[in-house]
Amino acid sequence: MWIPVDELKPGMKVGYPILREDGSILLNQGVALTPGYIKRLRELGFNSIFVEDELFADIKIEEPLRIETKRKAQKVLFETVKKLQRGSKFSYEKVAKVLEEVMEEILNYPGTVFYLVQIRQCSDSIFSHSVSVGVISLLLGHYLSLDMDYLKKLGLGALLHDLGKIRFPPQLLEEREKITEDDKKLISLHPIWSREIIQMQPGYDFLVSLIALQHHERMDGSGYPYGLIGEDIHFLSRICACADVYDALTVDRPYRKRFSYAEALEYLMGNSHSLFDLQVVTTMVRHIAPYPVGEVVKLTSGETAVVIKLNEGLPIRPVVRVIKDEEGNTLSKPRDIDLMKELAISILCSGDETAEDFYPSSDISRFKEMDFID
């Protein structure tokens, strides 16, 4: 079950491996939490983790990418960034090789609905983020029937799209209420820097660098760095842009709390005729689970439940396990509800939201500000 770090108690067991920025394991699945571990997680900026719970012993987390492959990709990206920070060239071939492993697993993923576990430090704005953007972009490209050559270029461009951020001063993305105009000018340069870094590497592909350059362009011309409009933005860049925004919004940052998966999809869908490509967003809504397994949700019945299984074809109506009644009392005998069959009940919002929190239309400017930074 997915719970905030502030609610952890000694003796609880880790339900999913917690990784460091370099892909190494900080705490493995099954490790019993101690006061020291909990304090360290809080110090490192982890806001939520999975914990094991006997009520959900029969539930397995099934991602399109194995944890071992995710770790390997994150390690390669970490090494890449460190080499660049030392002024060295990185191994383009090494990144391409780990991408092949990622692609193999993604193309063999049997499901049509997916989600990614996102347990991250707030400060991790390059490593695991870029791996997730790469995975989401590849899955979307696969569902959009791109050929293998385009998929490889899309995957590489998505993995390397944020390399330009290594030129930011360390304090730029730290905790803040509002970014300044000078900050915005600097932030708007990072896609150009990403392209420059990629094009400095032997054997680079132009389209890979173009994806990195254009991942913050928006369909109505409101993006950066060049304010491109519509078809002037390459289709692969539009895929990466949607994956980038979705992943950035759904993880905690030092300067704001994460948005729910459903809220992020709602934002993308609500702006699919202005900011984002409609075909890409439609594909995301069809294939990304708005309520992943392990997510605590509130039902229209007033009860609290945990998602335990995704329904193919209609991810917005999963199978849930009710754990609290409408008064907030814990049930002695939890019961499962398949929302594909119980049509009178639906998910109202994620467990850490209110119904009013879910709908972002009244504060779109907040999303655009975060989109600009991330």
Catalytic machinery residues: 165
Distance CA 30, CA 16 (A): 8
The token pair at 37 is 């571990």
Q: How many CB atoms lie within 10 A of CB 106?
A: 21
The angle subtended at Cα 112 by Cα 107 and Cα 118, nearest 5°, is 80
Class of residue 91 by CB neighbours under 10 A (exposed 0-12, middle 13-18, buried 19+)? middle
Q: Using an 8 Å Cβ cutoff, are 239 and 280 in contact?
A: yes
Tell me the CA distances in angstroms from 159 to 60, 80, 130, 266, 280, one per residue in order: 27, 11, 5, 25, 18
